[in-house]
Amino acid sequence: MRRFLEKEFKTSVTIGNDVQTGLLGEYRLGAAKGASHVLGVFFGTGVGGAAVIDGKLYTGASGFGGQVGGLLAQPVGGPKAALSHGIVDRIASKSAITTEALVMAIKDWAPYLHEKVGTDLSKVTWGMLRKAIEHRDERIEEMLRARIRVVGIALANVINFMNPQVLVVGGGLMTELSKLVLEEIEKGMREYLIPEVSKELKIRPAKLGGQAVAVGAANEALEARGKR
């Protein structure tokens, strides 16, 4: 793709993963500005992740560095766990959470949500879940808190290994339910962190929102041009 675009537009082109590029934006001008070691976690269609180590975006050997969605959180089911419910992405992705919420609504455990969406999964958005919680669909809140806390526990492994200064948390779920997400990630994570690691770690909500990827991409392109 890069070679095609360079030929078509007669200019240099950089290609990047959206989550990695978004974290680069937060690192340059957002929530992680001034830090040298950063982990980013973004709740959207899936659970995306990226890392900055020693001031440089870490992409890994094949471009997948920092991807926390594949962390094994519930090793029930042996090797097949990674294909079902065992990894973070299957626990806290949008599809996993909204599907569970719809099941709860159909069982009438979440009456407000059931009234608003019926049996239509496409209507179960992050914003709708926020409204359901605000209208006292307590089972929805309990389910969300439990799932996000598991993510926090899983992240503790990476945080202990990496020892970052900042954990940036973003994505669509954060936009709608930032207080809940930050509370549960911290509860799950802090309990399992090495004290020296925990002391240095700050957990911050992403600042740049939908502009993070564009900001990161612009920075990446400028850096690449400077090296050529």
Nearest to 67 by CA among 87, 41, 43: 41
**224 is a domain residue:** no
Asked if residue 1 is part of any domain, the answer here is no
DSSP per residue, 31-64: TTTT-SSEEEEEESSSEEEEEEETTEEE--SSS-
Q: What is the pLDDT of residue 78?
A: 47
Whether 14 maps to a domain, the answer reads: no
Quick: pLDDT tens for 20-45.
999 999 999 999 999 999 999 999 88
User: Which domain covers residue 47, as residue numbers?
Assistant: 35-207
Q: Which residue has the higher pLDDT, 102 or 211?
A: 102
**Close Cβ partners of 224 (under 8 Å, ≥ 6 residues apart):** 12, 14
pLDDT at residue 202 greater than cutoff 80: yes
**Which band of pLDDT confidence, cut at 50, 70 and 90, is reported for residue 82?**
very low
Predicted confidence (pLDDT) at residue 86 exceeds the cutoff of 90: no
For 87, the 3-state DSSP assignment is strand
Q: What residues contact residue 188 under an 8 Å CB cut-off, 6+ apart?
A: 148, 149, 150, 151, 152, 153, 154, 155, 156
Asked whether residue 2 is domain-assigned, the answer is no
pTM of the model: 0.88
Average pLDDT on 205-218 reads 89
Domain membership of residue 222 (yes or no) is no
Question: Quick check: 226 pLDDT over 80?
Answer: no
Within-domain flag for 100: yes
Q: What are phi and psi of 138, to 5 degrees?
A: -65, -30
> Which residue in 126, 139, 215 sits closest to 171, CA to CA?
126
3-state secondary structure of 192: coil
Residue 114 sits in a domain whose CATH number is 3.30.420.40
225 pLDDT band (50/70/90 cuts)? confident
Buried b (16+ CB within 10 A) or exposed e, 128-161: bbbebbeeebebbbebbbebbbbbbbbbbbbbee
Question: What is the arithmetic mean of pLDDT over 60-85?
Answer: 72
Lowest mean pLDDT among 140-144, 193-197, 214-218: 214-218
Helix (H) or strand (E) holding 14: none
Residue 76 falls inside a structural domain: yes
Using DSSP's 3-state secondary structure scheme, residue 174 falls into helix
End-to-end CA distance of the chain: 19
- Domain assignment present for residue 18? The answer is no
Which residues make beta-bridge pairs with 50?
Answer: 40
Report the pLDDT averaged over residues 125-131.
97
Radius of gyration of the chain (CA): 19
Number of structural domains the chain divides into? 1
